[in-house]
Chain A
């Protein structure tokens, strides 16, 4: 069975603060893929990043960075110098190499205030 846990239900920060969204996963598969999606109030899920289980290199894309640690089964997401436009619900998801469906966490609602 696969499971994704996002323990933080809601986070509120003031603009320009850094914020880290946690994601912990469970799987028995050795080959799997992890994703982060952003869901703004409009409802569309926007793809942010994909990482396979054999690539533990951290990644940075502008103000976004991701820290993948297999030893702790975590795939955390950090937004540096947050902006109001970052306000959204963020989902972490997992799929095994042999699977067909994404398994999502319950999401973390991020509110960035001016």
Chain B
């Protein structure tokens, strides 16, 4: 299988700008997850999709964050009016829709908000 891919790998933006990240899961993986990782911490759950349905959202996902998976394949995560506190690594993971199968992660998008 081709692994999970994310684009871009790095993004530098100025405070107040909007940014959008893309995640392409492993083919045939119905479930897709977004996590955020700040320096020195483990990844923290943001949201997840089963096919195109967004089933859960963390309280970390403020109103400035929105995620979509319109056709049940790739997903986008948009952050509006970025703040310096949004600087982090944004990780995407996918897994089969089978029990509690293993989540496989992409390389992440590192966001720096100046």
* B42 contact from A33, A47, A95, A107, Cβ within 8 A: A107
Map CB proximity to B onto A32-60 as digits: 1 under 8 Å, 0 otherwise.
Answer: 01010100001111110010000000000
Which of B17-25, B64-72, B76-84, B98-106 sits within the interface? B98-106
Complexed CA–CA distance, A105 and B41 (Å)? 8
Inter-chain contact A47/B110, CB cutoff 8 Å = no
B contact set with A: CB distance below 8 Å = 33, 35, 40-45, 48, 55-56, 58, 89, 91, 93, 99-100, 102-108, 110
A contact set with B: CB distance below 8 Å = 4, 33, 35, 37, 42-47, 50, 91, 93, 95, 97, 99-102, 104-107
Inter-chain contact B108/A104, CB cutoff 8 Å = no
Inter-chain contact B48/A45, CB cutoff 8 Å = no
Q: Which residue of A lies closest to B40 (CB)?
A: A106
Complexed CA–CA distance, A95 and B35 (Å)? 14
Q: Which residue of B lies closest to A109 (CB)?
A: B40
Complexed CA–CA distance, A93 and B107 (Å)? 18
Q: Which residue of A lies closest to B9 (CB)?
A: A43
